[in-house]
Structure 1
Amino acid sequence: MTDVCSSGLDIGFASLDYLQIGILGVIQGITELLPISSTAHMRVVPAVLGWRDPGSAFSAAMQMAALAAVVSYFWRDVRDVVSGSVTAVRERDFSNKWFLLAVAIILATIPIGIAGLALSSVLNACGSPLRGLMVIGVSCLVMAVLMGVSEFTCRHRRTVEQMRLRDALIVGIAQIGALIPGVSRSGSTLTAALFLNFKREEAARFSFLLGLPAIALAGLKELWVLHKAEIPPEAWSHLFFGILVASVSAFFAIWGLMRFLERFSTWPFVIYRAALGIFLIAAVSTGFLQ
């Protein structure tokens, strides 16, 4: 059996078979971009089915699947941000809306970049306490409450075009919460945008666009860490298979989420997160899950 702890890095996914990796890839792809925490599901599903925890390295590397899905779905926005920013710099038109959005994206990435580097040794370590099911359960419950409060108290009228740099910084700070398993990057940034009175579908768009650099950096960093750890070849084949499967499911997750939020509120996600959090807290407290 493959050593699941390589250079102190948890690579539990290497001990799973391709069917298990495929199932986890589908779940990872869906939950990574919905506001329900992919890390929570990467811990809960294997625990319930009696599989080994795939490890934090698996979840982090799967960011590449999320990156592919977000860039594919929001390709026009990504293209306009890049081309518009280049044009703005060339013409010295720093009031250009696409240039301002690019600055906002960079600004929103700084907080999680600093926090991620500071906590990387704890987050990716074998047996990290942050991946405990009780921690994830409490995180799910707290985020359910915050998302519910945002539905009660906010007006949901603003669009991404009305975004200010202050909004980007606030959402960027909220994105730090994604480092805690159970919080969810999508959940934390979407909730912050809702509190800033963005429309639900615009809050999701805002969340995805601002998260692009963070998603890319997290995924690339994890691939580099795995490379430096010299994990076995079979572990790489498992990982790339999982990324491929997750990319497809992540694209359809975005498509479904955007259409859902155009018509409905986030209450189904609030209820789901609360139920998952209560289940985990109860399961750990009674010894049903360890």
Structure 2
Amino acid sequence: MNWIEALILGLLQGLTEFLPVSSSGHLEIGKALMGINTENNLIFTIVVHGATVLSTIVVFRKEILELIKSIFSFEWNESNQYIVKIIISMIPIAIVGIFFKDSVEELFNSNRILLLVGFMLLITATLLGFTYYSKQKDKEISYRDAFLIGLAQAFAILPGISRSGSTIATGLFLGNKKSEVAKFSFLMVLVPILGENILGFFDGSFSAQQSVQILPLAIGFCAAFVSGLLACSWMIKIVKQGKLIYFAIYCLIIGLIAIFAA
């Protein structure tokens, strides 16, 4: 992978991480179109995901600081209850990461990855399409809702299933506030992806993969970070305005193209 390819994929990751169109699916489509060998390139995917986590931290820095301060208040207040809900939402993805990590990596290294992405994008399109007909309510996110949204996030480990799309759609199906669903969706992913990056350094996964050099990794990281800043703020407005149906149509079209291309 050269630096130009890394720049393109980084921009693609940053823009699609927050938009409900599956960043992992678009990364795999981008690799396929540019003829990049997906084998041993999981490291690049992890790094650019880390960049978008950093952009999330920047956008929600005030909210994150408030949550951190609340931890040391030692009170069972609304902020600490919110933290517990985020922890509950991480349980399903933690189970997948611990027990099914190798199986997930095999999916990304499969020769049929483009076909899988295409079909999963169709599922994403279906989820987003249903939100157009769901009744909108103003319910607060409960502990049960947090776990169900977490299940959606675990399901989104499949390339082509949009993480933001599936979690936001699940929250809307459950009748939660639009603005709260978007914020919860973006905050709940911080610890799992940061944890994946940290574990990558300690278990030798990063050093074991030599197909991506330092310069492309750095360029991809920066591109994903900058584009992620823009996309995160944009997505919050989109959810409030209830315009997810347009992304359903987009995922449908791209999914069909990926299937035929495969």
- TM-score above 0.5: yes
Question: Any gaps of 5 or more consecutive residues in structure 1?
Answer: 1-15, 285-290
Question: Any gaps of 5 or more consecutive residues in structure 2?
Answer: none
- Report % sequence identity: 28
Change (3 A) 1:280 1:230: closer
In structure 1, the residue matched to 2:158 is: 180
Q: How does 1:40-79 map to 2 (within 5 A)?
A: 40-53=25-38, 55-79=41-65
| Aligned-pair CA distance for 1:189 | 1.0
In structure 2, the residue matched to 1:118 is: 99
In structure 2, the residue matched to 1:30 is: 15
Q: Distance in 1 between matches of 2:62 and 2:82?
A: 14
Find 1:281's aligned residue among 250, 259, 262: 259
Q: Rg bigger for which structure?
A: 1
Amino acid at match of 1:53: T
- Structure number with greater CO (CA < 8 Å, separation at least 6) is 2
In structure 1, the residue matched to 2:70 is: 84
| Aligned-pair CA distance for 1:188 | 1.7
Spell out, residue by residue over 1:88-112, the C-alpha distance to the aligned partner (whole angstroms, 9 max, x if none).
x2xxx32x00000111111111110
Q: How does 1:1-290 map to 2 (within 5 A)?
A: 16-53=1-38, 55-87=41-73, 89=74, 93-94=75-76, 96-125=77-106, 128-129=109-110, 132-158=113-139, 162-225=140-203, 227=205, 229-232=207-210, 235-284=213-262
| Aligned-pair CA distance for 1:226 | 5.0
- Over aligned residue pairs, what C-alpha RMSD do you find? 2.2
29-38 or 227-236: bigger deviation: 227-236
**The residue matched to 1:265 in structure 2 has which SS?**
coil
For the 8 Å contact 2:48–2:224, the answer to whether it is kept is: yes
Paired residues, number: 261
In structure 2, the residue matched to 1:287 is: none
**The residue matched to 1:106 in structure 2 has which SS?**
helix
Change (3 A) 1:186 1:225: farther
Change (3 A) 1:228 1:210: closer
Amino acid at match of 1:180: L
**The residue matched to 1:173 in structure 2 has which SS?**
helix
